[in-house]
Amino acid sequence: MQDIQSLGRMLEQTAKKYKKKQAILFEGREISYRELDENANKVANGLQKLGIGKGDRVAMMLPNTPDFLYCFFGIQKLAAVAVPFNTMYKGREIAHILNDCEARVIITLSNTANLINEIRPDVPSLEHVVLTGNRTLVFTGPESTVNLQLVLGKDTFEKPEQAFERVGNLIVAVLKEFGVDSYYKHRGGIRAGGKKIANVLVNEIENLLMINALCFIGPLPLDTFFRVIWVPPEVKDKAVEPLTSVQEETGTLPSLEDFKKALLTAVEKEFGVELEAGSLKRDELFGYEKAKAVATKSL
């Protein structure tokens, strides 16, 4: 019986033999065996620096892209065990798989980072979350969502993780003012009746934290989304996790102005600042432009 490392060695030998010959064709782009092997080596080296070795489980929540193959073969080169699973899985399903295989690492797309953060406290074996890809999907609608963006110095918090907790609890308090019984359990997601009603994203840029909060005040029309991005009918209910809104929970749609006022008042109280309309300050402008550049690059 061949050991698991043979797949990694097989790729190395094939790359030496065929070098520039096509190994992968993805969206019209040809990727050679040499390029495949080089990228697999990069993954292996990165995982090795995280302490991953023979027999360690590395979960892979990746779509059918070249990154999947880079990661799969990179894991084989370390004689570790790759555990790929469906990218449509959500909270409990992901936690069950990670706990069942005792994964030390999960490799996934950047747009699922928030989802992994939510269940991470329930997966004690998980030490590292490795992200690939720049695309982050945020579902918004002009009459359905309220967006809050804060640019704060890292010294505002003892550790960045506290940004999730303070902003999450702040939003829970605002939702309570509008009659919504919601709760914040893990990093990122605020829920009402088990459905997501608000979301918090935190990005570190230099000495700043970019905090983006998204609140659903009205139902989000997902039909528009599914007209643009097609998914098979049998998995449509898993493509987007269950969402709810202030209107759906209370029967009343709050005005954007009222919700905005309540949110800003809560921010002022929580962080001891006074907010007023005006131009961004130097550090705020830097953080905003940096985030916008990343977002533009990912389009």
Phi, psi angles (nearest 5°) of residue 3: -80, 165
pLDDT in tens, 74-87: 999 999 999 999 98
Cβ neighbourhood burial of 158 (10 Å; 0-12, 13-18, 19+) = exposed
* Same domain (yes/no): 162, 111: no
Q: How far is CA 253 from the centre of its chain?
A: 29
Cα–Cα distance between 185 and 207 in angstroms, integer? 27
Q: How many other C-beta atoms lie within 10 A of the C-beta of residue 126?
A: 21
Q: What angle in degrees, to the nearest 10, is found between the helix axes of 66-77 and 33-49?
A: 60
Global pTM value? 0.57
Residue 159 maps to which CATH number? 3.30.930.10
Which residue, of 111, 132, 153, is where some domain finishes? 132
For the record, the structure tokens of 49 come out as 């620096």
Provide the residue range defining the domain that includes 181: 145-297
Instruction: Provide the percentage of residues in the chain whose pLDDT is more than 90.
Output: 41
* Same domain (yes/no): 177, 234: yes
* Same domain (yes/no): 128, 150: no
Q: Which of 163, 134, 169 is nearest to 150 (CA)?
A: 163
Pair 90, 243: CB distance under 8 Å: no
Q: Is residue 137 part of a domain?
A: no
Cα–Cα distance between 137 and 141 in angstroms, integer? 13
pLDDT in tens, 246-268: 999 999 999 988 998 999 999 99
User: Does 298 have pLDDT greater than 50?
Assistant: no
* Same domain (yes/no): 288, 195: yes
* Same domain (yes/no): 171, 260: yes
Q: Is residue 138 part of a domain?
A: no
For the record, the structure tokens of 115 come out as 């989802």
Burial 109-122 (b: 16+ CB within 10 A, else e): beebbbbbbbbbeb
pLDDT in tens, 110-125: 767 778 888 888 999 9
The 3-state DSSP class for residue 61 equals strand
What average pLDDT does the segment 49-64 reach? 93
How many domains is the chain built from?
Answer: 2
* Same domain (yes/no): 173, 266: yes
Q: Is residue 93 part of a domain?
A: yes
